[in-house]
Protein backbone atom coordinates (compact mmCIF):
# COMPACT_ATOMS: atom_id res chain seq x y z
CA UNK A 1 0.00 0.00 0.00
CA UNK A 2 1.30 3.46 -0.86
CA UNK A 3 1.87 5.99 1.89
CA UNK A 4 3.68 9.22 2.74
CA UNK A 5 4.50 11.08 5.93
CA UNK A 6 6.89 13.86 6.92
CA UNK A 7 7.97 15.44 10.21
CA UNK A 8 10.58 18.04 11.14
CA UNK A 9 12.47 19.35 14.15
CA UNK A 10 14.42 22.61 14.33
CA UNK A 11 17.23 22.45 16.91
CA UNK A 12 18.46 25.98 16.18
CA UNK A 13 21.86 25.01 14.84
CA UNK A 14 20.34 22.32 12.61
CA UNK A 15 17.01 21.30 11.10
CA UNK A 16 16.10 17.60 10.95
CA UNK A 17 13.53 16.33 8.44
CA UNK A 18 12.13 12.80 8.69
CA UNK A 19 10.39 11.39 5.61
CA UNK A 20 8.60 8.04 5.24
CA UNK A 21 7.37 6.72 1.88
CA UNK A 22 6.04 3.35 0.77
CA UNK A 23 5.01 1.49 -2.38
CA UNK A 24 3.04 -1.72 -2.83
CA UNK A 25 4.74 -4.97 -1.92
CA UNK A 26 3.61 -8.41 -0.78
CA UNK A 27 5.98 -8.25 2.18
CA UNK A 28 7.55 -5.60 4.41
CA UNK A 29 10.74 -4.30 2.78
CA UNK A 30 12.31 -1.63 5.01
CA UNK A 31 15.11 0.63 3.77
CA UNK A 32 16.68 3.30 6.01
CA UNK A 33 18.89 6.16 4.85
CA UNK A 34 20.40 7.77 7.92
CA UNK A 35 23.31 10.13 8.65
CA UNK A 36 26.18 8.41 10.48
CA UNK A 37 25.26 10.14 13.73
CA UNK A 38 22.01 8.10 13.84
CA UNK A 39 23.65 4.70 13.27
CA UNK A 40 23.02 3.53 16.84
CA UNK A 41 19.35 4.52 16.58
CA UNK A 42 18.65 2.35 13.51
CA UNK A 43 17.41 -0.65 15.49
CA UNK A 44 14.95 1.48 17.46
CA UNK A 45 13.59 3.07 14.27
CA UNK A 46 13.18 -0.30 12.59
CA UNK A 47 11.39 -1.71 15.63
CA UNK A 48 8.92 1.21 15.80
CA UNK A 49 8.07 0.86 12.08
CA UNK A 50 7.70 -2.92 12.31
CA UNK A 51 5.12 -2.51 15.08
CA UNK A 52 2.79 -0.46 12.88
CA UNK A 53 3.55 -1.38 9.27
CA UNK A 54 2.82 -4.91 8.07
CA UNK A 55 3.41 -4.71 4.33
CA UNK A 56 4.95 -2.48 1.70
CA UNK A 57 8.29 -1.29 0.36
CA UNK A 58 9.00 1.38 2.99
CA UNK A 59 11.77 3.99 2.76
CA UNK A 60 12.75 6.08 5.81
CA UNK A 61 15.19 8.96 5.43
CA UNK A 62 16.50 11.60 7.84
CA UNK A 63 17.95 14.78 6.35
CA UNK A 64 20.09 17.25 8.32
CA UNK A 65 20.39 20.92 7.31
CA UNK A 66 23.01 22.86 9.24
CA UNK A 67 22.24 26.50 10.06
CA UNK A 68 25.87 27.40 9.33
CA UNK A 69 28.19 25.33 7.20
CA UNK A 70 31.21 24.50 9.32
CA UNK A 71 34.09 22.16 8.73
CA UNK A 72 35.25 20.01 11.60
CA UNK A 73 38.94 20.61 12.09
CA UNK A 74 41.20 17.59 11.80
CA UNK A 75 43.46 16.66 14.69
CA UNK A 76 47.07 15.51 14.31
CA UNK A 77 48.70 13.01 16.66
CA UNK A 78 52.09 14.74 16.90
CA UNK A 79 53.79 11.99 18.89
CA UNK A 80 52.74 9.34 16.37
CA UNK A 81 53.78 11.63 13.49
CA UNK A 82 57.25 12.09 15.03
CA UNK A 83 57.54 8.33 15.53
CA UNK A 84 56.68 7.59 11.91
CA UNK A 85 58.96 10.37 10.63
CA UNK A 86 61.92 9.14 12.69
CA UNK A 87 61.48 5.58 11.45
CA UNK A 88 61.14 6.69 7.84
CA UNK A 89 64.25 8.90 8.11
CA UNK A 90 66.26 6.05 9.63
CA UNK A 91 65.21 3.68 6.87
CA UNK A 92 66.07 6.21 4.14
CA UNK A 93 69.54 6.65 5.70
CA UNK A 94 70.14 2.90 5.94
CA UNK A 95 69.10 2.42 2.32
CA UNK A 96 70.97 5.54 1.18
CA UNK A 97 67.80 6.93 -0.34
CA UNK A 98 66.66 10.57 -0.62
CA UNK A 99 64.74 11.82 2.40
CA UNK A 100 62.38 14.03 0.35
CA UNK A 101 58.68 14.24 1.28
CA UNK A 102 59.04 12.06 4.39
CA UNK A 103 56.73 14.40 6.34
CA UNK A 104 54.00 14.16 3.71
CA UNK A 105 54.37 10.38 3.68
CA UNK A 106 54.16 10.22 7.49
CA UNK A 107 50.98 12.33 7.49
CA UNK A 108 49.29 9.73 5.28
CA UNK A 109 50.00 6.83 7.64
CA UNK A 110 47.20 5.34 9.81
CA UNK A 111 45.88 7.25 12.84
CA UNK A 112 48.07 10.31 12.31
CA UNK A 113 45.24 12.58 11.11
CA UNK A 114 41.91 12.10 12.89
CA UNK A 115 38.53 13.65 12.11
CA UNK A 116 36.03 14.14 14.90
CA UNK A 117 32.78 12.35 14.10
CA UNK A 118 29.51 14.23 14.35
CA UNK A 119 27.31 13.26 17.28
CA UNK A 120 23.81 14.16 18.41
CA UNK A 121 22.89 15.08 21.96
CA UNK A 122 20.14 13.28 23.85
CA UNK A 123 17.95 16.41 23.78
CA UNK A 124 18.34 16.70 20.02
CA UNK A 125 17.53 13.01 19.59
CA UNK A 126 14.31 13.45 21.57
CA UNK A 127 13.33 16.20 19.11
CA UNK A 128 14.19 14.03 16.10
CA UNK A 129 12.29 11.10 17.63
CA UNK A 130 9.24 13.34 18.00
CA UNK A 131 9.57 14.33 14.33
CA UNK A 132 9.82 10.63 13.45
CA UNK A 133 6.60 9.86 15.35
CA UNK A 134 4.94 12.81 13.60
CA UNK A 135 5.99 11.45 10.19
CA UNK A 136 4.87 7.93 11.14
CA UNK A 137 1.44 9.19 12.25
CA UNK A 138 1.01 11.14 8.99
CA UNK A 139 2.15 8.07 7.06
CA UNK A 140 -0.45 5.87 8.78
CA UNK A 141 -3.16 8.50 8.24
CA UNK A 142 -2.32 8.62 4.54
CA UNK A 143 -2.60 4.84 4.26
CA UNK A 144 -5.82 4.86 6.28
CA UNK A 145 -7.42 7.44 3.99
CA UNK A 146 -6.34 5.45 0.93
CA UNK A 147 -7.77 2.32 2.53
CA UNK A 148 -11.19 3.94 2.96
CA UNK A 149 -11.24 4.91 -0.73
CA UNK A 150 -10.29 1.36 -1.71
CA UNK A 151 -12.97 -0.05 0.60
CA UNK A 152 -15.70 2.03 -1.02
CA UNK A 153 -14.53 1.09 -4.51
CA UNK A 154 -14.41 -2.64 -3.70
CA UNK A 155 -17.86 -2.54 -2.04
CA UNK A 156 -19.22 -0.80 -5.13
CA UNK A 157 -17.88 -3.54 -7.41
CA UNK A 158 -19.18 -6.35 -5.18
CA UNK A 159 -22.58 -4.62 -5.31
CA UNK A 160 -22.44 -4.73 -9.13
CA UNK A 161 -21.69 -8.47 -9.02
CA UNK A 162 -24.66 -9.03 -6.69
CA UNK A 163 -26.88 -6.88 -8.93
CA UNK A 164 -25.89 -8.98 -11.93
CA UNK A 165 -26.65 -12.08 -9.89
CA UNK A 166 -30.16 -10.74 -9.27
CA UNK A 167 -30.57 -10.29 -13.03
CA UNK A 168 -29.36 -13.86 -13.53
CA UNK A 169 -32.11 -14.95 -11.11
CA UNK A 170 -34.66 -13.27 -13.37
CA UNK A 171 -33.25 -14.82 -16.55
CA UNK A 172 -32.73 -18.32 -15.15
CA UNK A 173 -36.41 -19.50 -15.23
CA UNK A 174 -36.64 -18.58 -18.91
CA UNK A 175 -33.86 -20.97 -19.92
CA UNK A 176 -35.49 -24.36 -19.37
CA UNK A 177 -38.64 -23.81 -21.50
CA UNK A 178 -36.46 -22.46 -24.30
CA UNK A 179 -34.08 -25.43 -24.07
CA UNK A 180 -37.02 -27.88 -24.00
CA UNK A 181 -38.61 -26.24 -27.03
CA UNK A 182 -35.32 -26.23 -28.89
CA UNK A 183 -34.75 -29.93 -28.28
CA UNK A 184 -38.32 -30.77 -29.28
CA UNK A 185 -37.94 -28.84 -32.49
CA UNK A 186 -34.65 -30.54 -33.26
CA UNK A 187 -36.16 -34.00 -32.79
CA UNK A 188 -39.22 -33.10 -34.87
CA UNK A 189 -36.97 -31.96 -37.67
CA UNK A 190 -34.69 -35.00 -37.40
CA UNK A 191 -37.26 -37.80 -36.90
CA UNK A 192 -41.02 -38.14 -36.89
CA UNK A 193 -42.72 -37.39 -33.58
CA UNK A 194 -44.33 -40.85 -33.65
CA UNK A 195 -40.88 -42.46 -33.59
CA UNK A 196 -39.93 -40.71 -30.34
CA UNK A 197 -40.20 -42.57 -27.05
CA UNK A 198 -41.65 -39.79 -24.92
CA UNK A 199 -40.75 -41.47 -21.63
CA UNK A 200 -37.15 -41.88 -22.67
CA UNK A 201 -37.13 -38.35 -24.04
CA UNK A 202 -38.34 -36.95 -20.71
CA UNK A 203 -35.72 -38.95 -18.81
CA UNK A 204 -32.93 -37.68 -21.03
CA UNK A 205 -34.30 -34.16 -20.83
CA UNK A 206 -34.34 -34.24 -17.03
CA UNK A 207 -30.75 -35.50 -16.98
CA UNK A 208 -29.65 -32.81 -19.43
CA UNK A 209 -31.46 -30.00 -17.61
CA UNK A 210 -29.98 -31.17 -14.29
CA UNK A 211 -26.51 -30.67 -15.77
CA UNK A 212 -27.48 -27.10 -16.64
CA UNK A 213 -28.87 -26.28 -13.20
CA UNK A 214 -27.07 -23.29 -11.64
CA UNK A 215 -28.94 -23.08 -8.33
CA UNK A 216 -25.95 -24.13 -6.22
CA UNK A 217 -23.62 -21.74 -8.02
CA UNK A 218 -25.99 -18.83 -7.44
CA UNK A 219 -26.27 -19.62 -3.72
CA UNK A 220 -22.52 -20.05 -3.26
CA UNK A 221 -21.72 -16.89 -5.22
CA UNK A 222 -24.07 -14.83 -3.07
CA UNK A 223 -22.65 -16.37 0.10
CA UNK A 224 -19.07 -15.64 -0.97
CA UNK A 225 -19.91 -12.01 -1.79
CA UNK A 226 -21.59 -11.50 1.58
CA UNK A 227 -18.62 -13.11 3.36
CA UNK A 228 -16.28 -10.84 1.39
CA UNK A 229 -18.10 -7.71 2.62
CA UNK A 230 -18.16 -9.05 6.19
CA UNK A 231 -14.40 -9.70 6.08
CA UNK A 232 -13.79 -6.27 4.57
CA UNK A 233 -15.36 -4.63 7.63
CA UNK A 234 -12.91 -6.37 9.98
CA UNK A 235 -10.20 -4.12 11.44
CA UNK A 236 -7.54 -6.83 11.19
CA UNK A 237 -5.21 -7.16 8.21
CA UNK A 238 -7.26 -9.28 5.81
CA UNK A 239 -5.71 -8.61 2.41
CA UNK A 240 -4.67 -12.24 1.83
CA UNK A 241 -7.99 -13.56 3.12
CA UNK A 242 -9.90 -11.27 0.78
CA UNK A 243 -7.71 -12.52 -2.04
CA UNK A 244 -8.69 -16.12 -1.27
CA UNK A 245 -12.39 -15.23 -1.13
CA UNK A 246 -12.13 -13.41 -4.47
CA UNK A 247 -10.69 -16.61 -5.97
CA UNK A 248 -13.75 -18.53 -4.74
CA UNK A 249 -16.03 -15.88 -6.21
CA UNK A 250 -14.20 -16.28 -9.52
CA UNK A 251 -14.70 -20.05 -9.51
CA UNK A 252 -18.46 -19.71 -9.01
CA UNK A 253 -18.74 -17.02 -11.68
CA UNK A 254 -16.83 -19.20 -14.17
CA UNK A 255 -18.98 -22.25 -13.40
CA UNK A 256 -22.12 -20.15 -13.66
CA UNK A 257 -21.09 -18.99 -17.11
CA UNK A 258 -20.12 -22.43 -18.39
CA UNK A 259 -23.34 -24.11 -17.21
CA UNK A 260 -25.82 -21.37 -18.08
CA UNK A 261 -25.89 -22.04 -21.83
CA UNK A 262 -27.74 -18.77 -22.30
CA UNK A 263 -26.58 -15.64 -24.12
CA UNK A 264 -28.24 -13.12 -21.77
CA UNK A 265 -26.76 -14.80 -18.68
CA UNK A 266 -23.36 -14.99 -20.37
CA UNK A 267 -23.39 -11.21 -20.82
CA UNK A 268 -24.10 -10.76 -17.11
CA UNK A 269 -21.30 -13.21 -16.27
CA UNK A 270 -18.84 -11.24 -18.41
CA UNK A 271 -19.80 -8.12 -16.41
CA UNK A 272 -19.15 -10.00 -13.15
CA UNK A 273 -15.72 -11.12 -14.38
CA UNK A 274 -14.80 -7.59 -15.36
CA UNK A 275 -15.67 -6.23 -11.90
CA UNK A 276 -13.90 -9.14 -10.19
CA UNK A 277 -10.67 -8.42 -12.08
CA UNK A 278 -10.81 -4.80 -10.89
CA UNK A 279 -11.34 -6.03 -7.33
CA UNK A 280 -8.29 -8.31 -7.57
CA UNK A 281 -6.18 -5.40 -8.79
CA UNK A 282 -7.31 -3.29 -5.84
CA UNK A 283 -6.63 -6.11 -3.38
CA UNK A 284 -2.93 -5.84 -4.23
CA UNK A 285 -3.04 -2.54 -2.32
CA UNK A 286 -4.92 -3.92 0.71
CA UNK A 287 -3.07 -5.08 3.81
* pLDDT score at 194: 60
**Reported confidence tier of residue 39, pLDDT bands at 50, 70, 90:** confident
pLDDT at 125 over 80: yes
Query: Would you state the pLDDT for residue 87?
Result: 87
Q: Which residue has the higher pLDDT, 175 or 72?
A: 175
* 108 or 140: which leads in pLDDT: 140
Instruction: Report pTM.
Output: 0.66
For residue 195, the model assigns a pLDDT of: 61
Work out the mean pLDDT of the chain and round it to a whole number. 84
Looking at the chain, the whole-number percentage of residues with pLDDT higher than 70 is 85
Summarize pLDDT for 194-218 with one digit per residue, the tens. Answer: 666 667 666 766 666 667 788 899 9
pLDDT at residue 219 is higher than 80? yes
Domains of the chain: 3-70+122-143 (3.30.230), 74-115 (no CATH)
CA distance 192 to 179: 19
Which pairs from 172-176 meet CB under 8 Å and 24+ separation?
172/214, 172/218, 172/265, 174/262, 175/212, 175/260, 175/261, 175/262, 175/265, 176/209, 176/212
Amino acid sequence: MTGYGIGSYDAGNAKYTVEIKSLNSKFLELNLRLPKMFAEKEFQLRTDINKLVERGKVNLSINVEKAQTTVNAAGIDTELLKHYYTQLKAISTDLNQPADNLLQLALGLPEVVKFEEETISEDEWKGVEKAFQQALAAFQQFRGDEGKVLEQDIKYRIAIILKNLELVELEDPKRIPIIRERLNQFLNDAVAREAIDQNRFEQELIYYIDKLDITEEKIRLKTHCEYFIETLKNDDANGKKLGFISQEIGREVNTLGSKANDASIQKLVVGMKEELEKIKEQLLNVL
